[in-house]
Structure 1
């Protein structure tokens, strides 16, 4: 006999005149039935929710006939909020990274022609300038670059800065690229460059002040004049406002 049938039997007993109403039995059976219904209702809701979840997963991963197999997405995982405190990122140094230099353990480009001694010293090393071969894709007339380096007493070279044209001809008349110190961690590089033509004097201007550069002709091509500024007269990295070249008669080229 089911619970519902028991309750009905208890209630029918009250219809007979010779039967005494057992209220305790009626209330007990009624509470038991309501409890069963609540449990069944909760279970039904849970089942419905589970079915709905299955439908969602299949709908997200499914495709049409012949398509790829459904992708089952993992259930979301609760992640504890981060603790309050300094971020590891805050401990990372934000100092700017200096431009890379070519160390002595790296193969150095072989100088073309003679090395020019600038008479500037960095400890036991001397500041030197020299041309090296370069290659720029699509620019067959660019084949040389001017390097600022340091030469050790044993003759070893350390290239600090290399500059070259990126288009046109590296032997065209006039000034070419000018090299400025980029704040490297090594020895400061005095401002330098080269000029193609019969120049005997190179004059730079900064803040209305004229500064003469030192000059030397390249041994491989006397039309190419290497110049650099004494770091005691022009601070390495300080930009020039203008620059001119003059021949032996003082004529501007």
Structure 2
């Protein structure tokens, strides 16, 4: 029923029986009632529309895929490679530990500021050389005991425990001055009491220290004041306690 039809119904209902006129007061009351009903109905429609909109938004929010997780830092495992020849030690990545010494660290008294030159044996892994399991490091030791590897030598054939001299290390800087020059060094397997090198016709004697894990393995080095680092030897011999050549 339209509003016009409703108004006509009201007019007929309030028309006086004597048809002398309309009941204006009744018509006004009925008109107000119709307006109130229309307003309430409109408000209800708006509320329903708003509720539907909210439900729709909620449905969209629930069906939206979750945000992908941010990938965290990937930790990479350090790789330790063993050299198969005399040369500088492999470069270590940040956070990678220095090779762990096997046995005691040998001090030399040679200093670079607060650091001391030291030598120590480390394990090496050369798959094609099963007889080579150790190498000799020329390193530095800080006042707090921290070790820094400067140079590593290991055998490139046979066994690292065969009698006699093994790989000899020379300063890798060569003729270029270094703030931490590496003395000429190496090791000998046998009852050596003296090790003497020859350079330019003169003899230079090495300093010795026996490896704590095997006294037959003798670590030797030449003091830089006696033999300049990187200076090649013309020859080298080892002698026992009785002076016999080994």
Give the alignment's TM-score, normalised by structure 2. Answer: 0.60
Matching residue of 1:233: 226
For residues 108-160 of structure 1, the C-alpha deviation after alignment (integer angstroms, 9 at most, x for no partner) is 00000000001111110000000000011221110000000000001100000
* Count of aligned residue pairs for this structure pair: 156
DSSP 3-state at the match of 2:119: strand
CA distance in 2, matches of 1:145, 1:195: 12
TM-aligned CA deviation for residue 167 of structure 1: 1.5
CA distance in 1, matches of 2:228, 2:171: 9
CA distance in 1, matches of 2:130, 2:100: 20
CA distance in 2, matches of 1:133, 1:246: 28
Stretches of structure 1 that go unaligned for 5 or more consecutive residues are 1-97
DSSP 3-state at the match of 2:166: strand
CA distance in 2, matches of 1:121, 1:234: 16
Q: Quick one: which of 99, 114, 126 aligns to 1:136?
A: 126
CA distance in 1, matches of 2:89, 2:211: 27
Task: State which structure, 1 or 2, has the greater radius of gyration over its C-alpha atoms.
Answer: 2
Q: How has the CA–CA distance of structure 1 residues 186 and 145 changed in structure 2, closer, same or farther, with 3 Å as cutoff?
A: farther
What are the equivalent positions in structure 2 for 1:59-98 lying under 5 Å apart?
none
CA distance in 1, matches of 2:161, 2:99: 20
Matching residue of 1:54: none
Q: How has the CA–CA distance of structure 1 residues 132 and 186 changed in structure 2, closer, same or farther, with 3 Å as cutoff?
A: farther
Stretches of structure 2 that go unaligned for 5 or more consecutive residues are 1-87
Matching residue of 1:114: 104
TM-aligned CA deviation for residue 240 of structure 1: 0.2
Are the equivalent residues in 2 in contact too, given 1:211–1:233 (CA < 8 A)?
A: yes
Matching residue of 1:244: 237
Are the equivalent residues in 1 in contact too, given 2:89–2:151 (CA < 8 A)?
A: no
Q: Quick one: which of 147, 150, 168 aligns to 2:158?
A: 168
CA distance in 2, matches of 1:210, 1:108: 35
